[in-house]
Amino acid sequence: MRPLKILSLVLASVAIACFAGCEMYKTVYVPLNAPVQLRETILDAKVWVFDEDGVRRPGVLPLPEGAWIITDDGRELPPLESGTNPKKEGDE
């Protein structure tokens, strides 16, 4: 066989192997209130927690891999402790 023919066969084999083994990703839209499971740990997740008086306060905690998370269902939450309202972009 000629060297050019061998090179062509090698390149074709590599291309076929690459395309056969490449993973395709697709976007999945998760509906509101659908639980999802974390694939990796989030070390400093900013969360809202309720203290013993039922007051919602800001907190930071790690969320471990495998934890199940559910989105806010839009229900009425108790008011924030005064001075802890998060600033939105554009607020001065």
pTM equals 0.47
Residue 90 — left, alpha, or beta (φ > 0 → left; ψ -120 to 50 → alpha)? left
8-state DSSP, 45: E
**pLDDT digits over 24-45, tens only?**
677 888 887 788 999 999 999 9
For 9, which DSSP code?
H
Q: Where are the domains of the chain?
A: 3-69
- The CA-to-CA distance between both ends of the chain, in Å, stands at 75
Specify the pLDDT at position 9: 80
Confidence of residue 91 (pLDDT cuts 50, 70, 90): very low
d(CA 80, CA 67): 26
For position 63, what pLDDT does the model report?
Answer: 94
More confident residue, 20 or 11: 11
